[in-house]
Amino acid sequence: MNSSSLSASSVSSHPLAVYGWDADWEAEFAPYAAQGLLPGRVARVDRGLCDVLTPIGTVRADTEFVVPRDPMKVVCTGDWVAVDPEGSDPLYVRTLLPRRTAFVRSTSSKRSEGQVLATNIDHVVICVSLAVEFDLGRIERFLALAMSSSNGEALLHKSALSWESGAQPVVVLTKADLVPDAVTLAHLVQDVETTAPGVPVLTVSATLGEGLDVLAAVVGGGTSVLLGQSGAGKSTLANALLGEDVMEVQAARDVDGKGRHTTTTRNLLALPGGGVLIDTPGLRGVGLWDAETGVGQVFSEIEELAEECRFHDCAHESEPGCAVLAAIDAGTLPVRRLESYRKLLRENQRIVAKTDARVRAEIRKDWKRKGAEGKAAMEAKRGRWL
């Protein structure tokens, strides 16, 4: 047996292999192993302390030495870290290993900060309840963020991985047992597929166990994070995938299908069939964070049409030779899609502008241009009236 085979064998038999440990993580951790530190993966973070899964079991470690000013570098569920060896009292997280991917949204604060919800993820499972009317715009928003799941180092440089090389989004329509009519269910799936071009759309009933095998196969490799509003059935789905009631569950309100925040922290759990699952609290707000790449992929049909417009800077409003407006007139592009596309681009631009002077200057220049055009149009009208 050669050295590479021995190395692969040692990695696969490593106590943390079930949580995603591989040869690349082992190589990344090598300098810290030489210092006598233990590798571990953060399963939960709570008030300056975190539960870390290590070769000696789950330990409670203090994060005092890894508290940066940059909120994007705060310890998060899914992080791989180096912790003090067994016997240390207290135990401290000494460093974070570079993140492969991170799911980030903007906070609700006016300071325009990013909040990392989960790290080192391979699949973003967006849960949408069939118990309530679809909000297609919210699905598009989740997808834009999922497709912009960024490399941890690139986050600081406002660069994002494409979804092919980053986290793969999957839309899961939960509570499928509440839509017994197969034709209606097929139409709902088609609506979401149109909203999420190229993204797998699965229907699941955790109550009846329908569709779980397909979802389990999808999340069986790598790390998956469950995202969605309260009442979307994330915790119920997590319990079904885990095969036991690990996560607490509460019934959604009958009036609007909304649920309470049963899950209050992000938790990392190993699935019995392979893979790792991160369950998250329900998200009321899903603010974009440097998601231009993701928006472009969610609305890929509009981006492709835009390449056929007569003017390269076409705003798709009233310009002659606009292929996007032509598609709307022909009925091949829904007006709602274009409006949603514009809305998300504007929102993302505002977020980026708060921290990027160049973008702010471009926005001011665009405002001045539109103001001049509006003034010219008004003067032209006055000339016709005189």
pLDDT given for residue 70 in this prediction: 78
SS3 346: helix
Closest by alpha carbon to 215, among 165, 230, 226? Answer: 226
Which residues of the chain are modeled with pLDDT < 70? 1-10, 106-113, 148-166, 246-264, 282-292, 351-386
Phi and psi, residue 43, nearest 5°: -100, -25
SS3 273: coil
pLDDT given for residue 168 in this prediction: 87
**DSSP track, 92-104:** BEEEEPPPS-EEE
pTM: 0.77
pLDDT given for residue 382 in this prediction: 57
pLDDT given for residue 75 in this prediction: 93
pLDDT given for residue 247 in this prediction: 58
Rg (CA), the chain: 24
The token pair that represents 307 in the structure block: 């390449």
Residue partners of 189: CB distance under 8 A and separation at least 6: 173, 201, 203
- How far from 136 is each of 103, 106, 163, 341, 346, CA to CA, in Å? 20, 20, 20, 12, 18
Q: Tell me the pLDDT tens digit for each residue of 8-58.
A: 566 778 899 999 999 999 999 999 999 999 999 999 998 889 999 999 999
Closest by alpha carbon to 105, among 375, 362, 343, 348? Answer: 348
Quote the percentage of the chain above a pLDDT of 90: 43
pLDDT given for residue 117 in this prediction: 85
pLDDT given for residue 146 in this prediction: 78
d(CA 282, CA 260): 8
pLDDT given for residue 284 in this prediction: 58
**Hey, which bits of 112-180 come out as E strands?**
114-119, 123-129, 168-174
Beta bridge partners of 78: none
pLDDT given for residue 357 in this prediction: 46
